[in-house]
Amino acid sequence: MPSRGKYFINENETRRRADSLFETYFCITQQFPLVFLFLLIIAVACISLIIVFFVIELRVPDHLRFFVTLCTALGIFVVIFVLIFIESLFQRCMKIFALFIWLCLLTMGYIFIFTGERISAWDQVPFFLYIIFVLYTMLPLSMRDAIIASLLSSISHVLTLSIYLSTTSKPPTFLAQQLVSNAVIFLCGCLVGFFHKFSMERALEQTYEDTLSCIQIGMQLDVKKKQQESLLLSVLPVYISMEMKLSIIERLRESNYYPHKRDNFHSLYVKRHQNVSILYADIVGFTRLASDCSPKELVVMLNELFGKFDQIAKENECMRIKILGDCYYCVSGLPVSLPKHARNCVKMGLDMCEAIEVVRAVTGVDISMRVGVHSGNVLCGVIGLRKWQYDVWSHDVTLANHMESGGVPGRVHITATTLSYLQKAYEVEEGNGHQRNAYLNELKLKTYLVIDPRTTQQSLKSRHLPMPRHLKGGLKMRASVRMTRYLESWGAAKPFAHLQQRESVSSDISTPSGKTRKEIPMRSLGLHRSLDRNKSQKRRFEEELHEKMITTINGINSHKESIKCGIFAGVTPSFSEKGLEKAYRSVCLPYMRYYVGCATLIFFSIFVVHLLVMPLNVLLGISFGIAAAVLLIILFVSFAGYVKLWMNNSSSSNPFFGISEAVTKKPILRLPLTLIAIVVVLVISVLNLYSIPERPSKTNETNEINLHSLQNNITATGNETYNLTDNLQNKTNSSGCENYYLPYYVCCCILGLIACSVFLRISFEVKALLLIIACVVYNIIFLKDYAFLFEQYKTFLYGSATPSPTKNPKIMASFYLLLFGFTLLFLIKQNAYYCRLDFLWKNKFKREREEIETMENLNRLLLENVLPGHVAKHFIGETKKNEELYHQSYDCVCIMFASVPDFKEFYTECDVNKEGLECLRLLNEIIADFDELLSKPKFSSVEKIKTIGSTYMAAAGLSIGTGQENKQDKEKPCAHIGIMVEFATALMSKLDGINRHSFNNFKLRVGINHGPVIAGVIGAQKPQYDIWGNAVNVASRMDSTGELGKIQVTEETCKVLRELGYSCESRGLISVKGKGDLQTYFLCMDMNKSH
């Protein structure tokens, strides 16, 4: 098979394993059941002949060779029948078994020929035709071996009889015509057998590939499902991710069935949790450090730091919620309530301070950790339609945030509520947070600073920490370089590393997984290790595929598997599901034309035999003329379109193509044509026998009586008496000597039966019914209506002697018709079962392929809900790679922060609004409506970054490819800025619409700035795409210092907007934290663009 090796890695080993797997599949699914059926049939045939032998009262001594041959053959077949059940032996020696069976059959045929009083040209032609047919259809031989064995069988029969009969003193009448007829019959058997074997092997190879593909698709489907879970769990906790996943799938289904259906409200995935502790932590001094970093250094630094914090969070049973720039916050007590949630958060805060203190001591970089902790209740979940990020909301969350901003670097700042949960686990001192934070002062909260019991020992230890080798001479390095090199030694996992490891199994491209150590000087060594890991992963996948295939193969041949597959393997194979049965019967049959062609070949073989050996008369000419016309019309209808297509290479100008295609696709057309073709061949095989008189002539009857009387009364043994009897016999049978053609009628009828089997995928019931009717009718004709002709011919050949059953023309006719009938019946039933099985695999493959495409689309949807589309391709796709963290620098990106400040006043926690849940429902509607704007083509360049409470952050200009950011012309970034302004205006319009429906008066406050930024993905457990840079910080300040209902921009952005035709008015100088006084402008909303 051409494509079996594509599923494995090593080509040589793969081809060997693939061939072995296919041979196992071929052996168990096709060869074993066929050999089993054949041995069963041939054993029953031998037993039947033995029974007939005694029924017609033959004596064993008179027919010793025939009887011994039958008994020996029966014994051999029974032994082989037992041996084939040893699976390993059968798989290893099946060709030897097949050759041995062929030699046994061949030996039986020649013994049957040369056992008896007289040898005829037609002797054992049906038996040798049977040998030829089973070589192709039932014995486990390759096509080459079957061709060689069939040619040897047919040629040896023709040559043996031609040599033997031509050298006898009295050669049979019309010997040459009979021998040519034998050759025609054998040639027809070879060609039909070749067609049958070729068609079934090709179908079996396709079934094998479909089975293998289906299993592989199933395994990939499992991988995709795991990827889905990994993707969801990378951003959401398990308890909420499954709910969202089911909701997404349901929404996708509804969109297929009801494309215009839209719910009034968006789904809300938020739950309330009580008794939790919230930790906010900020790296003091990081902003100054980040301004000196390259893009790679910044992303590596953040990934390593937050990776370390994620590890600390896991150790202390805390769940990281979100990363905001260099701010990290988490909660303990989610999703399962924990009695030690306060201790967990405090311990985590102390561990974070310790980790940063170590970094500071080793690198000499002036950074520290400021941590705030508060305990209370939260609403947690996901809002919006895009860029899902698990978040928490409540007044307690706001308080925890202010605890961090009002804290002290290097210390953990806690409220009195948290202190009560600690139960004196830690010593504390006065925090005086109200002196450093206005919100805390407004609430008049008493705060505390936790005393770390490890402080004294840790400070002593940190003074004596040895500087790593790669940091020696660190004073000569920039602070960011020292930080990056040291943090890389922590070895934090890369974002989506777990996803890539799973995906590398199901993809054809090897992607290294894991982290390459920087200390290794030879990069190729790391590459080889990565390739080795991927080879081992693919080897595991290959072994799992092999095992599942073997399991499937073993199950295919069992009755339980057929029931499991939906095939009722009773009297007639059929699907238990009506819809599946209807689909199977209406499936397209592209090889229908070849079935008709093969039936036409059988018809012309019968015609040639009739011309050579049958009595020629008018009925023969008329009947064959009409039959040929009918078959040629059917053949023309089946082939005409394709012949024209082959000649013109076009189906548009071919009027017959539609007809030929309809025959292959529509059962209502092909079934009648099949019936007509088979019936024509079956009828024409025996029709001309009726041109012979049904009753023997009176003269013949008298002569036959006189012959028997004379033979009974003569007792003399002299030559004269013998000559007298011999002459009288020749004279008596002078009119019956031409009945040599009777066995050829039997052969033609057998060819007619074989014609039923060449329509491989046509309904089993139709073929079986025609086969049974034909066998019954043929036997009635030969055993009743024209029995006298066979008796007459037997008397002519053997006189009063009783020949062996295979030499008796009448018994031979009935025996071989039944032998072929039962063999063909079992064969077409077996073929029908595997055709249905092939249909099932194709159907399953199609369904699972569609399912995996759905999964891939869902995965893409989920991933793009975490990352922008161009970033998602970095992690999933044909060019994915995880050797490096994703980072990208941009010269000009427009950043927007849009907040709803009134929502803080609107948000209340009381019983009426379910402790704030209904307030969040309205926020969810606002954010979801904002997200829907992103699907408009005009805003395709706008990328949502995240939401922070009631603030919506977006950026434009992030989808420019690598290397192009420095080549941007002035018009390109200006276009991004203009689009962002249009987007901000659309957000305001959306909010106005929500106000009208909800009877609120929310106003949007927008800040916009543009400039260079760094984008990247950080965090292994919950990967998060974010952007950093001074332009981002200024845009945030433009929002926080802005006014309701207005869009505030910087002076640089104002200049660009004026060039684009927008009108701006100066606000004057305003004080911006960390930036001093800045000149800012408000966009004139009433004028929009001036033209």
Q: State the DSSP string of 725-784.
A: HHHHHHHHTTTTGGGGGHHHHHHHHHHHHHHHHT-TTS-HHHHHHHHHHHHHHHHHIIII
Question: Strand pairing partners for 1010?
Answer: 894
Tokens of 707: 């012959």
Report phi then psi at 820, rounded to 5. Answer: -65, -40
Provide the 3-class DSSP secondary structure of residue 236: coil
Among 973, 898, 907, 906, smallest CA distance to 929 is for 898
How many residues in total does the chain contain? Answer: 1091
Rounded CA-CA distance 768/777 in Å is 14
Q: 768, 811, 830, 820: which is closest to 42 by C-alpha?
A: 820
CA gap 4, 913 in Å, rounded: 63
Among candidate residues 472, 523, 666, 1073, the one labeled active-site is 1073
**What 3-state class would DSSP assign to 942?**
strand
Beta strand 1024-1028 with 1047-1050 is unpaired
Is the CB of residue 896 less than 8 Å from the CB of residue 983? Answer: yes
CA distance linking residue 977 with residue 980, whole number of Å? 5
Whether residue 25 contacts residue 545, with contact meaning beta carbons closer than 8 Å, is answered with no
For residues 784 and 830, is the Cβ–Cβ distance under 8 A?
Answer: no
Residue 1073 appears among annotated catalytic residues: yes
1037 is catalytic: yes
In Å, the largest CA–CA distance within the chain is: 150
Q: Which pairs with CB-CB distance under 8 Å and at least 24 residues apart come from 842-848?
A: 842/210, 843/580, 843/583, 844/214, 845/210, 845/213, 845/214, 845/217, 848/214, 848/217, 848/218, 848/221
Are 970 and 978 contacting, i.e. CB atoms less than 8 angstroms apart? no
What is the enclosing helix (H) or strand (E) of 887?
A: strand 887-899
CB 317 within 8 A of CB 332: yes
Report the candidate in 29, 252, 5, 28 with the shortest Cα–Cα distance to residue 840: 29
Residue 353 near residue 452, CB atoms below 8 Å: yes
Q: Which helix (H) or strand (E) holds 636?
A: helix 618-648
* Tokens of residue 638, six digits: 């089946």
Which residue in the block uniquely carries the two structure tokens 């879970």?
229
Q: 715 by DSSP, 3-state: which?
A: coil
Q: Which of the residues 1037, 1055, 1058, 1067 is marked catalytic?
A: 1037
The CA-CA-CA angle for residues 975, 979, 980, to 5°, reads 115
Long-range contacts of 1069-1073 (CB under 8 A, 24+ apart): 1070/1041, 1071/1041, 1072/1034, 1072/1037, 1072/1041, 1073/1037
CA 754 centroid distance within chain? 38
Asked, as a colleague might, if the bond just before 335 is cis with ω within 30 of 0, I would say yes
The DSSP code for 74 is H
Alpha helix locations (H) across 58-174? 64-83, 87-114, 125-137, 143-166
Rounded Cα distance between 1029 and 1034, Å, is 9
Are 486 and 363 within 8 A, CB to CB? yes
Enzyme catalytic residues: 1037, 1073
